[in-house]
Structure 1
Amino acid sequence: MLKILKNDLPASIVVFFVALPLCLGIALASGAPLFSGLIAGIIGGIIVGALSGSKIGVSGPAAGLAAIVLSSIGTLGGYENFLVAVVLGGVIQIVFGVLRAGIIGYYFPSSVIKGMLTGIGIIIILKQIPHFFGYDADPEGDFAFFQVDGQNTFTEIISTINSISPGATLIALLGLAILILWDRVLVKQSKLFQIIQGPLVAVVIGILFYVVTKNSPILGISQEHLVNIPVPEDELSFVEHMKSFLGQFSFPHFAAITDSKVWVTAFTIALVASLETLLCVEATDKLDPDKNVTPTNRELLAQGTGNIISGMIGGLPITQVIVRSSANIQSGGKSKMSAIIHGFFLLISVIVIPKLLNKIPLSVLASILLIVGYKLAKPSLFVKMFNLGWKQFIPFTVTVLGIVFIDLLYGIGLGLLVGIVVILIKSYQNSHFLHIEDKSNGKHRINMTLAEEVTFFNKGAILKELNKLPEHTYLTLDVRKTRYLDNDIIEILEDFSEKAKMKNIDIKLISERGEVENPDSYIQFFRLRPKSA
């Protein structure tokens, strides 16, 4: 337990500081009460984190749902009516989980998942540039290209030139320098710097900078460039404080349940939230250095439960969120305790220290998110995808451009459409199948023969069969008949080779080039194969 907390506690602090402005910003972009974003963040951390089978995924309010929430509140006649749709959406998600609809996540190609991660990384960077320089006309959670204030991503950056705040910019640069120094140098020098995370130090210095310079006409940071958590008005006593705090909760108006528009909104929330969650699960499992596999149907059940509870007490819809999940992974999170602890941090902070949190400059938080965005969208990834060939690079690029210039769901949809077209062009003349022949005779010897063409459509079936293999199995993988092997399948084999070592599974790979026992790298092996193979 102590070993887990050594990684999860520092990671939860980082996720907390990433989640805090996003919870508020997404609520603002959704046209909902600010407190509703915090409720969703708390429920996503504590409740969904506890029920989820993901060890590193973090849930909360999602930017991808902001446009739906904004339009639905007006259409349904108020926020309390909208909360009914959130509750019903959660119930529908539970039905999805019971019907085992989580398998749909396996049918998205790897190039689209990587494009989604990269596109979100670029969006994070572009959206945080104005906040970095102290220009806060646009809410943090607005991830779409065309914004609710009539601007777009790039005009917002251009507008920043005339509105730079010297104090906010200075502390943002200092925070960015601390984060880079911590990540590149200090964590390698001492375990102390692994326990005390750079983002925490940057935030503390940001608070001190604000307190010291708040009366300075040049370096002072204005209130609109600070975190803005709702503070209970009555603070004369603890009882009054709690009464005012509890008074910020909203409750669904269930009389609206007979309205057909409420049900349409509920199905929309359930479908979009489920899709975003499943894509995030696929993406975080790829980023996870321990190669854990998240049970997708259990994830839908957890998300549905979280949305029911969030809707019942006034919170926004919840999904698993790639920004928080990737921050968790990059900060060393190892178990679900990181997500749960971050939820408790959100809860405690809004009750106990809201005034202290309201002294955190948004520009410091922007510097943290810039690092997160860069790690998701490293230039080396573009080179890697290009080297994998046009079948990977085109869907990847279309997904990135769609997310940056339209929005998340459109980008994923365009990338998936292009990915399907690419696969159909390559494999329209042959069927896809997976043939398994059991020659165990009590010795756990399995022969697995791959078809002539194996694409990402076969991911679910192959992954299911590989995960079913018992310990101490001798697996013979025959690819002599295979003429086309999708990069997604090669990645599955790469990931499975790590799990095979833990389960004492020996693998013999048979191809036209010969036989290889427990190959070190499947990617290198298949690149070296003749084109005819």
Structure 2
Amino acid sequence: MKTSSPEVTAAGAELSPLKNLSFDVPAGLVVFLVALPLCLGIALASGAPLLSGLLAGIVGGLIIPLLSRSPLSVSGPAAGLATIVLAGIQKVGSFEAFAVAVVLAGGLQVLLGVSRAGRLVAFMPSSVIKGMLAGIGVLLILKQLPHALGLAGGKLALPSQGLAGIEWGALVIGLVSLGLLVAWDKLRPKRLSLLPGALVAVLIATLLNELALRVWPGLALGQSFLVTIPLEGPASLLTQLRAPDWSALRSMDTWVLALTLGVVASLETLLSLQAVDKLDPYRRQTPLNRELVAQGLGNSVSGLLGGLPITSVIVRSSANVHAGGRTRAATMVHGALLLGAVMLATGLLNRIPLASLAAILLVTGYKLAKPALFRELYRLGVAQLVPFIATLGAILVTDLLRGILVGVLVSVAFALRNAMRTPYTLKREGEHFVISLKRDVYFFNKAALLEALEQMPEGARVVVDGSDSDFIDHDIVEALGHFRGTASRRNIQLEVRDVGRAPAMAV
């Protein structure tokens, strides 16, 4: 990786792609090597044609950078959407109908960008976001474990024919791939530091299967356990594109799926961009609303071509940063290489064992739902742990969008619970009471404040001091005015400082 800078650039300034090609081309090659197995693996996890994952990667690499202003973000099919895609295809009945939902989701993202909704991600509770990611991770593990273990039926239970129903070659390749993925980051030589573990696992798995074909045919995998991309050269690509089935527009399921895809893809993109911008050594900031427009148009194009939905993805983006990428040219290089692989190298791609792709997704799922995350939320306390668990549990028993909604509602309930706690401090000196209002006092604090006032003894002198408050709801002002009218009957003297005046308080 090159470390010398071709030019000195002020923080936040735009770099010229043409002047940084010596950095961006090698970085784009690294990102391509990371993206290729992920595009195939995510399509496998989604229950979609494997070509659709590659098409999404190509669109994310060649179309979105033309519209985006993110210098380092890489877009493509996301593991976080795999469970939505899998359930969505089953719900709407076909992949062609699903493609319609992808087109509509892209349109929704464009509307979100035009309406300047990019900053809404800041209002999403972090516990809900972590619960969403953990839920995605658990679902990935549950869905991919049977494939990695060589269970042809795709279920965790042993097949009806017992051990004879296990594909032992797939099991061996899955376990070897898992071992390589776990050990690679710790054991890889320094000169291979930019070679991604996912690619190493795929290469070794493919070589093992080729060796088995020659040495031990009984362990060799048949084509049903290998990648299958039905292309016979560049000319056949157009014939394999899965055009959307526009009759699906008549189904409400399609519109609901489009809403789910649009919201979750936007959320994942915005979260990824926040992380990538923090990694940028030039401290450039991505215009979030423009990014939503770019992602939306990219998703619409992907849907029209029969590709998977697209988001900005942190794994490929961070690989771009660490490989020395500087501008959007690196992303476009990776997209061009994916297109070249589809056009010219499908014969090689069709030799990749699916078990190795499943192993990659198992590791991805573990990273999203690793035990350390649960321990972290536990240490943060009930207010963080409960929304996290609620989001995770709801995703597992319903779906991603409902799970997020449940998590947000639980988080709001905790926020209201905290806000409704005593909105004041009370200091007593004999029959003299000072009630100091806290920083923000809302209408739902009225009951607690009135209860304190009603408990004042007869003949007391009470001062309500709002000098330390930044916001006092009008309902609080009216409540104090009403109490002033009744306090004289109990010989209570009420003094209000820096709270404001309302008709109810007029003397």
The aligned counterpart of 2:201 is 202
1:290 counterpart (265, 279, 295): 279
Cα distance in 2 for residues equivalent to 1:303 and 1:196: 28
The one-letter code of the counterpart of 2:144 is: Q
The aligned counterpart of 1:436 is none
The one-letter code of the counterpart of 1:48 is: I
Equivalent positions of 1:252-271 (< 5 A) are 261=250, 267-268=255-256, 270-271=258-259
The aligned counterpart of 1:185 is 187
Displacement of 1:359 = 0.7
Q: Does structure 2 retain, via aligned residues, the 8 Å contact 1:85–1:265? A: no
The aligned counterpart of 1:133 is 149
Displacement of 1:211 = 1.1
Displacement of 1:365 = 1.7
Moved more, 4-13 or 391-400: 4-13
Query: Normalized against structure 1, the TM-score is what?
Result: 0.65
Deviations 1:408-456 (A, max 9, x none): 222222211211111111114799xxxxxxxxxxxxxxxxxxx9369xx
The aligned counterpart of 1:380 is 372
The aligned counterpart of 1:352 is 344
- How has the CA–CA distance of structure 1 residues 49 and 428 changed in structure 2, closer, same or farther, with 3 Å as cutoff? farther
The aligned counterpart of 1:221 is 221
Does residue 56 of structure 1 match 2:73? yes
Deviations 1:50-99 (A, max 9, x none): 4334433523374324434444456xxx93x7756654553443233211
Query: Normalized against structure 2, the TM-score is what?
Result: 0.68
Cα distance in 2 for residues equivalent to 1:39 and 1:205: 25
Q: Does structure 2 retain, via aligned residues, the 8 Å contact 1:278–1:296? A: no
Deviations 1:150-196 (A, max 9, x none): xxxxxx2223674432222222222222223320132xx52x12122
Q: Does structure 2 retain, via aligned residues, the 8 Å contact 1:129–1:366? A: yes
The aligned counterpart of 1:120 is 136
Cα distance in 2 for residues equivalent to 1:428 and 1:9: 55
Cα distance in 2 for residues equivalent to 1:227 and 1:110: 37
The aligned counterpart of 2:502 is none
The one-letter code of the counterpart of 1:18 is: L
Moved more, 194-203 or 285-294: 285-294
Deviations 1:297-339 (A, max 9, x none): 22221122113323433434x2316xx5335436846665565
Cα distance in 1 for residues equivalent to 2:254 and 2:220: 45
Cα distance in 2 for residues equivalent to 1:349 and 1:99: 38
Describe the SS at the equivalent of 1:396: helix
The aligned counterpart of 2:241 is 249
Describe the SS at the equivalent of 1:157: coil
The aligned counterpart of 1:26 is 46
Q: Which runs of 5+ in 1 are unaligned?
A: 139-155, 233-240, 432-450, 455-479, 484-533
- How has the CA–CA distance of structure 1 residues 182 and 296 changed in structure 2, closer, same or farther, with 3 Å as cutoff? same
- How has the CA–CA distance of structure 1 residues 118 and 453 changed in structure 2, closer, same or farther, with 3 Å as cutoff? farther
Identity of aligned residues (%): 35
Cα distance in 1 for residues equivalent to 2:119 and 2:379: 30
Cα distance in 1 for residues equivalent to 2:105 and 2:267: 18
- How has the CA–CA distance of structure 1 residues 354 and 482 changed in structure 2, closer, same or farther, with 3 Å as cutoff? farther
Q: Does structure 2 retain, via aligned residues, the 8 Å contact 1:395–1:419? A: yes
Q: Does structure 2 retain, via aligned residues, the 8 Å contact 1:24–1:38? A: no
2:404 counterpart (412, 429, 433): 412
Deviations 1:25-48 (A, max 9, x none): 5353xxxx6544443332233212
1:279 counterpart (262, 267, 272): 267
Cα distance in 2 for residues equivalent to 1:374 and 1:391: 24
The aligned counterpart of 1:150 is none
Q: Does structure 2 retain, via aligned residues, the 8 Å contact 1:56–1:338? A: no
Displacement of 1:390 = 0.7
The one-letter code of the counterpart of 2:250 is: K
Q: Does structure 2 retain, via aligned residues, the 8 Å contact 1:111–1:396? A: yes
The aligned counterpart of 2:29 is 9
Cα distance in 1 for residues equivalent to 2:314 and 2:295: 15
Q: Does structure 2 retain, via aligned residues, the 8 Å contact 1:132–1:172? A: yes
Cα distance in 1 for residues equivalent to 2:376 and 2:98: 44
The aligned counterpart of 1:452 is 439
Q: Does structure 2 retain, via aligned residues, the 8 Å contact 1:386–1:393? A: yes
Over the residues paired in the alignment, what is the CA RMSD in angstroms? Answer: 3.5
Q: Which runs of 5+ in 2 are unaligned?
A: 1-19, 424-437, 442-466, 471-507
Describe the SS at the equivalent of 2:158: helix
Describe the SS at the equivalent of 1:159: coil
Cα distance in 2 for residues equivalent to 1:290 and 1:482: 38
Does residue 212 of structure 1 match 2:214? no
Cα distance in 2 for residues equivalent to 1:131 and 1:403: 22
Q: Does structure 1 retain, via aligned residues, the 8 Å contact 2:102–2:261? A: no
The aligned counterpart of 2:87 is 67
